[in-house]
Structure 1
Amino acid sequence: MERVDTFTRLSKLRELMRSHDIDIYVIPSEDSHASEYIAACDARREFISGFSGSAGCAIVTLDKAALATDGRYFNQASQQLDENWLLLKQGLQDVPTWQDWSAEQSAGNKVVAIDPQLISGSAARKLAEKIEMSGGRGLRALEQNLVDLVWAQGRPERPMNPVMHLPERFTGKDVVAKLTELRRELKNRGSPALVVSMLDEIAWLFNLRGSDIPYNPVFFSYAIITLDSAVLFIDSTKLSAECRAHLDRNGVLVKPYEDIFDAARDLQATYTAESGGSGAERKRPMVSNKGSWALNRALGGEGFVTEIRSPIEDSKAVKNETELGGMRACHIRDGAAVIEYIAWLEAQLVVKKVTLDEVQAAEKLEEFRARREYYVGLSFDTISSSGANAAIIHYKPQRGNCSIIDPAAIYLCDSGGQYLDGTTDVTRTIHFGRPTAAEKTAYTLVLKGNIALDTVIFPKGTTGFALDCLARQFLWREGLDYRHGTGHGVGSFLNVHEGPIGIGTRVQYSEVALAPGNVVSIEPGYYEDGMFGVRIENLVMIKEVATRHTFGDKTYLGFEHLTMVPYCRNLIEPNLLTDFEKQWLNVQHENMFATFKDKFKDDPLTLAWLTRETQPL
């Protein structure tokens, strides 16, 4: 992986820090909307550190620099960070969090500063408390982002891409119905307004989609919803006549994107005046607990605003019947594309002996997807990784700086598509030659974990935190594990990573129960640094299931399988599978063959591959 020399960038940043009387400067990964994936113009942490992973935080002092990231990126960060940086491996014993490290550096009355648009209000308060306890002078909200000043030349422009209206035949619910339900929630909570800052929530609420952030069909915007009004803050040049008409029909007023902070201040002034300034009786607008510190401050700050998990986030995560139908349909089309790709790749590498690198292969997969109905684009950068690169969990091959695919080594491909009727995410690990015993064992243990979680039945109210160990149990028995979550929520033609639900050990996954209509991934893995990696990922939807008994009068839930791509027979060690697991595999493969055999009747290469790979064990 390419390594950037950051000495000059850090030197310039430190000059600016001194001129602003700042001792420690924090540079988060996120943008002003707490987006996980960001537009190129907002990649400040990557610019200053050279680390390109999606998760992490950079902290720069006048004589040190640290980059904190989680286990998905330990390998990548160690390769990309130069000698100017200390890597804080989050989650490992005795390694401080970036917040604790920042606070430790502030000892001796030092000042920590951050762009208030890049941290949530609650996170800013917690960080300020740590700084105070460590003897620091405090946390300063610095409106001018210092990295932007260092990055004055060569920084990409903010995207201004057009917005599209997504018809009700794909959304299953119109804007008026969504606003009505949201206003009912406002009344139930006793709040006069909700200020919305998460981009996928705005796209979902108004049945609009965009392309301001690669792979995520969202657009830069804010919204304020009151009991009798709805305002969308967006650059109006992005809106076509059709979008304008759609918003007008649904009673949505459009205002400039940059007016949000003045509007927030006006909103607070109005509600404070109506309450006569009384704290106890003050009308408090709501804002997401992911909303920025800057937005929180504009609304009056603590005591003037109520921070909550957004009710839009909860509603969006429960797909309606139209969205669920779209998910089923797009996964069949997507599965056909991936099947066609793997069959083609095997023929190129094994039969024709063609030399292909990881980027060329990823581009061919995108070509297969692009032929499918309703295809819009990829849902994330394709992870096309051969051999040792497969051990880099979020590996991104780069043209001119990637590996040739070795047919005698493991090949891991994690990819997904955006379709008008849904979003896909699938990982398959394959081997075209003779895998080692260790590779087959690792693959089969991961597969066993996938099957165990896929087939579980659980009572309503169960969280993904509680289910996570089911996928890890077979690895744990061997003293093995993986450093990433087991599953994430998935949007409906929206972000491939969607809250609030997920399966893993993160605290937030213990706070929200899985519910019928959720779509989530199941993706256990195992990685040997410098050797190989294994991951098997399917998407499933949560549904009610019938059980013989109903202890406690509870509803019981299970998973409906969505992903339609066969598993690699060459990597399965049958002796490690139970009869139940073999039967599960056989049923899955029988269903896949029945689904696709006619679709590939005029494609003998793909049909032959499908027939071979779906034979019963």
Structure 2
Amino acid sequence: MFQHQSFDPVSDRSFAGKHLPLLRAEMKKQNLDGFVIPHDDEYQNEYIPAYAERLMWATGFSGSAGAAVILQDKAVMFTDGRYTLQVRQQADSDYFDYVDITETAPDAWLAENAAKGSRIGYDPMLHATAGVKKLKAAAEKAGFELVAVSQNPVDAAWKDQPAAPLTPAKPHEIEFAGKSSEDKRKEIAAEIAKTGADAALITAPPSVAWLFNIRGADVSRSPLPLGRALLNKDGTATLFIAPEKVGNELPGFLGDAVDVRAESDVGVALQKLGKEGAKVAVDPALAPSKYVDDLKEAGAVIVDMTDPCALPRAAKNDTEVEGAREAHIRDGAAVTKFLHWLDTQAQSGDVDEIRAAQKLESIRAESDDLRDLSFDSISGAGANGALCHYRVSTQSNAPLKPGSLYLIDSGGQYLDGTTDITRTVPIGEPSDEMRDRFTRVLKGHIALATLKFPAGTTGHQIDMIARKPLWDAGLDYDHGTGHGVGSFLGVHEGPQRIAKAPNSQALKPGMILSNEPGYYKANEYGIRIENLIVVTPPKPVPGGEREMMEFETITLAPINLDLVKTDLLTEDERQWLNDYHARVRETLSPLVPAEIKDWFEKATRAV
């Protein structure tokens, strides 16, 4: 269900002053000295429905990752490098201290700061088992009591909390999925049986959607139906989903081997498994700790198992990869039209960030194939572009001024694929420094795009390839180089990623990732070049001894050549850029309007 972007502020610095007293009063009612608020909802989603924005309600921080610890006399915000500036703008420093979550997580902070004998609460539906284990270790170290609350004090204090979404779940046909739900269930069931488990509890909505070939609209910009599932080792399953989401077509589409029940029945089903002494596989990093506690108390045997759907969901089949290619052609044509508009209509300083975002949205929406955006566009002019996860609002809206850079990170949701692309363009004449930094980012982008690597290679091992041209100049960026992308699912998808942070997941053929190095000069400008790439099957290298995998770039749209210092490029880098633009020109020409053909030829010219 496509909804236009809203640019009204979703929060402000007044939230803490208004809401913390209400929260602390509720905590006092529950005899709590502190409470841990993650950004996560009950499904461990990154992007969450409005009712689940508990962290934002309590703090004012609207980013997609973070946490807070609220004590009766102190409050702390935890975010990573993506949100260093944003959290200080939104969470009032009169109420909060700020901590880098990559250096000190909430459990580690509590271990050093919580008073002995204090009662620190957490909502067991919002914390996975692995996270609770860390909190329990902190409690043991500091001597505080960790309390699993039966009612979240934020929910109790939040009087105008929105209702949970109830949008219909719909079939995702095999022409897009590439494999039937029955075949998927049989394959995953075989993996469950290997662990000795009788069934697996699937709690992540992307995995539920993938396993049953269904999609929904419960989460903004992600076509997810919120629900849970139990998959038995014989391939039969129970889908737990609100009855309001089940239309007449869904039961027949799912077939007789799938029992559809209300999500509120999950607890009853877990009790039954426990009484039977069943062995139940759960992912300790994803399953709400309450579910695991309920299973144990009922008598079930817990088998730790990484979400068995995650890896096959990430390694796309041939149909999904081809669908992604087709989606990127259509999306690339829309982005190209927008880049032409930027270059010809937005250079005078009269256009602002909101108008630019709306223009790109309107161009994308011309396609009948567009189902939604894949996220609200990051439309950052000048200094706002230096905020790598910036979200423009009517309060922050800035003009695209001559002599500055404009960064636009955006994407679309199509039945055959999910797109995510970032382009940086000059408004007026760029400075020599801007061109130097852009070219270094481009060199890193090309290094990753052209990399050959053997089976077993992880994204962690190759992250530095994209950073070296920046490191050579004493520069860097504080976000990952690449994230996984779903197939008409979330724009951020694991388990694969390319980042400094350790990650043991080897890259597999069919995985789609982003290639997005960047550079950000605080209070001045931001640069990012992002294409999506697909891991190719291994193949021999002439004269080599081992087969190697590569990346196929599937995003197609011009990279701004006015920002490129060609003397910084090697001959191979220049050849890659020229070959890429030749492919963009050849593929998109049939979709580009005749009136912009001259501009398009120039934008994709050889350098």
Determine whether 1:90 maps to 2:101: yes
Distance (Å, rounded) in 2 between the aligned partners of 1:349 and 1:321: 40
Distance (Å, rounded) in 2 between the aligned partners of 1:48 and 1:342: 39
Distance (Å, rounded) in 2 between the aligned partners of 1:303 and 1:193: 11
AA partner of residue 454 (structure 2): P
Counterpart for residue 596 of structure 1 = 588
Q: 1:132-147 alignment to 2 at 5 Å?
A: 132-136=140-144, 138-147=145-154
C-alpha contact 1:196 1:288 (8 A) present in aligned 2: no
AA partner of residue 76 (structure 2): A
Counterpart for residue 27 of structure 2 = 17
Determine whether 1:437 maps to 2:443: no
Q: CA deviation at 1:462?
A: 0.3
Counterpart for residue 285 of structure 2 = 289
Distance (Å, rounded) in 1 between the aligned partners of 2:188 and 2:276: 21
Determine whether 1:182 maps to 2:188: yes
Counterpart for residue 6 of structure 2 = none
Among 81, 100, 106, the alignment partner of 2:108 is: 100
Counterpart for residue 526 of structure 2 = 533
Q: Give the match's secondary structure for 2:422.
A: strand
Among 559, 564, 569, the alignment partner of 1:567 is: 559
410-419 or 301-310, which moves further after superposition? 301-310
Q: Give the match's secondary structure for 2:125.
A: helix
Q: CA deviation at 1:549?
A: 4.4
1:501-556 superposed Cα distances (whole Å, 9 cap, x missing partner):
0100223x2x11001010011111111110000111110000123312453xx431
C-alpha contact 1:546 1:556 (8 A) present in aligned 2: yes
Q: CA deviation at 1:448?
A: 0.4
Distance (Å, rounded) in 1 between the aligned partners of 2:385 and 2:256: 48
493-502 or 126-135, which moves further after superposition? 126-135
Counterpart for residue 275 of structure 1 = none
Determine whether 1:358 maps to 2:348: no
Counterpart for residue 275 of structure 2 = 269
C-alpha contact 1:104 1:131 (8 A) present in aligned 2: no
Counterpart for residue 5 of structure 2 = none
AA partner of residue 77 (structure 1): V
AA partner of residue 86 (structure 1): D
Q: 1:7-406 alignment to 2 at 5 Å?
A: 7-82=17-92, 83-91=94-102, 96-136=104-144, 138-153=145-160, 155-228=161-234, 229-247=236-254, 249=255, 251-271=257-277, 283-287=279-283, 289-300=285-296, 304-350=301-347, 353=348, 355-399=350-394, 401-406=396-401
C-alpha contact 1:355 1:405 (8 A) present in aligned 2: yes
Q: CA deviation at 1:303?
A: 8.3
The alignment's C-alpha RMSD in Å is: 1.6
AA partner of residue 556 (structure 1): M
Q: Give the match's secondary structure for 2:296.
A: coil
42-51 or 537-546, which moves further after superposition? 537-546
Distance (Å, rounded) in 1 between the aligned partners of 2:169 and 2:217: 7
Name the CA shift for 1:40/1:284 in 2 (closer, same or farther; >3 Å): closer
Q: CA deviation at 1:378?
A: 0.4
Q: CA deviation at 1:359?
A: 1.5
Distance (Å, rounded) in 2 between the aligned partners of 1:467 and 1:60: 38
Among 501, 510, 517, the alignment partner of 1:517 is: 510
AA partner of residue 215 (structure 1): R
Name the CA shift for 1:501/1:218 in 2 (closer, same or farther; >3 Å): same
Q: CA deviation at 1:433?
A: 1.2
Name the CA shift for 1:419/1:250 in 2 (closer, same or farther; >3 Å): farther
Q: CA deviation at 1:373?
A: 4.5
Counterpart for residue 542 of structure 1 = 535
Counterpart for residue 280 of structure 1 = none
Distance (Å, rounded) in 1 between the aligned partners of 2:52 and 2:332: 33
Determine whether 1:463 maps to 2:469: no
Distance (Å, rounded) in 1 between the aligned partners of 2:564 and 2:349: 26
Distance (Å, rounded) in 1 between the aligned partners of 2:500 and 2:275: 41
Name the CA shift for 1:285/1:590 in 2 (closer, same or farther; >3 Å): closer
Distance (Å, rounded) in 2 between the aligned partners of 1:22 and 1:34: 24
1:55-114 superposed Cα distances (whole Å, 9 cap, x missing partner):
0001100100011000001011111111211111233xxx53222112223232212110
Q: CA deviation at 1:285?
A: 3.5
1:199-222 superposed Cα distances (whole Å, 9 cap, x missing partner):
000001111000100011101101
C-alpha contact 2:485 2:514 (8 A) present in aligned 1: yes
Counterpart for residue 613 of structure 1 = 603
1:428-464 superposed Cα distances (whole Å, 9 cap, x missing partner):
0110311111111111111000000110100000000
AA partner of residue 600 (structure 2): L
C-alpha contact 1:120 1:289 (8 A) present in aligned 2: yes
Distance (Å, rounded) in 2 between the aligned partners of 1:32 and 1:5: 23
Distance (Å, rounded) in 2 between the aligned partners of 1:440 and 1:354: 20
Determine whether 1:450 maps to 2:448: no
AA partner of residue 89 (structure 1): D
AA partner of residue 269 (structure 1): K
Q: Give the match's secondary structure for 2:259.
A: strand
C-alpha contact 2:277 2:300 (8 A) present in aligned 1: no
Distance (Å, rounded) in 2 between the aligned partners of 1:49 and 1:366: 30
C-alpha contact 1:115 1:144 (8 A) present in aligned 2: yes
Distance (Å, rounded) in 2 between the aligned partners of 1:347 and 1:285: 57
1:385-424 superposed Cα distances (whole Å, 9 cap, x missing partner):
1000000010001135411222431000000000000000
Distance (Å, rounded) in 1 between the aligned partners of 2:349 and 2:143: 62
Q: Give the match's secondary structure for 1:162.
A: coil
Q: CA deviation at 1:5?
A: 4.0
Q: Percent identity?
A: 38
Distance (Å, rounded) in 1 between the aligned partners of 2:509 and 2:435: 35
C-alpha contact 2:275 2:300 (8 A) present in aligned 1: no
Counterpart for residue 277 of structure 1 = none
Q: Which structure 2 segments of 5+ residues have no match?
A: 1-8
Distance (Å, rounded) in 1 between the aligned partners of 2:485 and 2:222: 11
Distance (Å, rounded) in 1 between the aligned partners of 2:599 and 2:138: 58
Distance (Å, rounded) in 2 between the aligned partners of 1:567 and 1:546: 31
Distance (Å, rounded) in 2 between the aligned partners of 1:595 and 1:208: 31
Q: CA deviation at 1:289?
A: 2.8
Q: CA deviation at 1:157?
A: 1.3
AA partner of residue 473 (structure 1): K
Distance (Å, rounded) in 1 between the aligned partners of 2:543 and 2:197: 41
**Count of residues paired in the alignment:** 593
AA partner of residue 102 (structure 1): L
498-507 or 193-202, which moves further after superposition? 498-507
C-alpha contact 1:359 1:384 (8 A) present in aligned 2: yes
AA partner of residue 34 (structure 1): Q
Distance (Å, rounded) in 2 between the aligned partners of 1:609 and 1:291: 52
283-292 or 234-243, which moves further after superposition? 283-292
